[in-house]
Structure 1
Amino acid sequence: MTGIDFLASFLRTGRLHGIGIGSTLGEVDRAIRHRFVDVVDEAGESLRRDYGFVEFYFNPGDEWVMSGGSIELHRLASGPDLAREWARTTGVEFPRHVAWADVREELGRVPGAPELTVGDQGGFLEYRAAASNVSVIVVDDEEEERGYHAGHGDVWSVSLWAPVRTAPPRPGPVGCLTGPEGMGCGRSGHVHTMAFEHPAKKGGQGRLGPFEKLAELASNFTSSPAFSVFCVLLVAAFVVAHLAHLDTSWQHLFGDAMGAVALLLLALLKNSERRAEHAIQRKLDAIAAVLLEQGERQGETGRAHKDLAESIGIEDGD
């Protein structure tokens, strides 16, 4: 079976290899015989099973019960060995890049295809099939070209989610781990938690939201001489209020003003800092991709080449 056929069936049924929401860990073991890594949080309240680019999430009980899952297709761009290994053990062959147009075309041939709703995730589009509890994240950035990462119009990930209790994992820093992890069996003390979305993913490339625009203005203003003068005057007013033994209400006013300014700046400037950091990382990823393509043309496939490929996008798992 091709990966395109597999994804179309998954979108229609919400099940893959016969398992889905509510399946036990034992049922998953019987359905998928592939190397994996189990990651259990320190409190033993959640389990993530990682098959390389396919992940399942479980809640505890008499047995571990599946509460969600994701197919992180973007990992195949920099880790083609993951697809080859999956095809060998499951019989499903995924290409290095999966075009959403191909999936949509195949889905149109499937009887009982679900209705899809579309949402803009800022640099990504989410196609959600409420009937099967499956959502597809597609790259929506014309500047993104295929290489060692998914390009414009490619499927980033496909997520299976339980209604109400479990939200689907998001791209980049919305709970998705990026970059292939080591294969093999084992357990870890990593805490599995839901992450908030990276601010750079909310506005999208060149599309800043109101908060992001405010953060940029705040960043520019706080680096200006006018803001420095304002801070000096505010601190001076606070000191004078103490030295002059003014009423405590004035002291509280100036003190609270400084605290409020500090909290606002923390939120606004951190947003600006994270987006600037993301922009730098994307440039580094692009440089790494170019070096890898040059290395492949020259026949370089050593350990350093593999490490560089795995490093692309690794910051999204922070």
Structure 2
Amino acid sequence: MGNDTHLPSQVDDHLGWFDRFAGGAARFVSRATFFAMCVVLVLVWAPSYFLFGDVDTWQLVINTATTIVTFLLVALLQNSQRRADQAVQRKLNALAVALADVMAAVDRDDDASRAELRAAVGLEDRESS
């Protein structure tokens, strides 16, 4: 196996507090419970017009709430997506190195063939961190 790539099982899976939080948030917002909570929020907000009495204030409340939730969720979900992309890239790197090793063992021991294979499968020169 090549020296510049770790197998996916060899990668340290220790996550910081923000990564754990973002992963938990991504799991939560992808469930029906979160969608139901959003529906309930709209159902509670709709008749609140009579509480505010002013259309502008009434709309400002829902616009502000949804903007804040959207802003925070984009940051959390982007973190989760980045980590998922990195995990896929590590797996692809390990597969490409294994393919290059197989090619070398099957009588194609020249560096040009291995380099061509590495380029064809998109093996990165260094693993992302």
How high is the TM-score relative to the length of structure 1? 0.33
Letter in 1 for 2:30: S
CA distance in structure 1 between the aligned counterparts of 2:2 and 2:13, rounded to whole angstroms: 22
- What runs of 5+ residues in structure 1 fail to find an aligned partner? 1-145, 152-203
CA contact (8 A) 1:221 1:227 kept: yes
Give the superposition deviation at 1:252: 1.7
Q: Which structure dedicates a bigger proportion of its chain to strand?
A: 1
- In the alignment of these two chains, the number of paired residues is 120
Deviation digits for residues 6-61 of structure 1 (CA, Å, limit 9, x no counterpart): xxxxxxxxxxxxxxxxxxxxxxxxxxxxxxxxxxxxxxxxxxxxxxxxxxxxxxxx
CA contact (8 A) 1:219 1:272 kept: yes
CA distance in structure 2 between the aligned counterparts of 1:293 and 1:243, rounded to whole angstroms: 71
Matches within 5 A, 1:296-307: 296-300=104-108, 301=110, 305-307=114-116
Q: Which residue, out of 237, 246, 249, partners 2:53?
A: 246
Letter in 2 for 1:285: N
CA distance in structure 2 between the aligned counterparts of 1:237 and 1:254, rounded to whole angstroms: 10
Match of 1:208, SS state, is coil
Does 2:4 correspond to 1:149?
yes
- What runs of 5+ residues in structure 2 fail to find an aligned partner? none
CA contact (8 A) 1:215 1:271 kept: yes
Matches within 5 A, 1:128-277: 147=2, 149=4, 205-241=12-48, 246-247=53-54, 248-277=56-85
Give the superposition deviation at 1:289: 0.6
CA distance in structure 1 between the aligned counterparts of 2:44 and 2:63, rounded to whole angstroms: 10
Deviation digits for residues 209-229 of structure 1 (CA, Å, limit 9, x no counterpart): 111011011011001221011
CA distance in structure 2 between the aligned counterparts of 1:269 and 1:315, rounded to whole angstroms: 25
Q: Which structure dedicates a bigger proportion of its chain to helix?
A: 2
CA distance in structure 1 between the aligned counterparts of 2:47 and 2:112, rounded to whole angstroms: 64
Pick 1 or 2: higher relative contact order, CA cutoff 8 A, min separation 6: 2
Give the superposition deviation at 1:253: 2.1
Residue number in structure 1 paired with 2:117:
308
Match of 1:205, SS state, is coil
Deviation digits for residues 121-167 of structure 1 (CA, Å, limit 9, x no counterpart): xxxxxxxxxxxxxxxxxxxxxxxxx615156xxxxxxxxxxxxxxxx
Does 2:84 correspond to 1:279?
no
Give the superposition deviation at 1:239: 4.2
CA distance in structure 1 between the aligned counterparts of 2:63 and 2:45, rounded to whole angstroms: 7
Deviation digits for residues 151-203 of structure 1 (CA, Å, limit 9, x no counterpart): 6xxxxxxxxxxxxxxxxxxxxxxxxxxxxxxxxxxxxxxxxxxxxxxxxxxxx
Residues 150, 224 of structure 1: CA spacing in aligned structure 2 closer, same or farther, 3 A cutoff?
closer
CA distance in structure 1 between the aligned counterparts of 2:39 and 2:59, rounded to whole angstroms: 16
Identity between Structure 1 and Structure 2 (%): 31
How high is the TM-score relative to the length of structure 2? 0.74
Residues 288, 150 of structure 1: CA spacing in aligned structure 2 closer, same or farther, 3 A cutoff?
closer
Give the superposition deviation at 1:315: 8.8
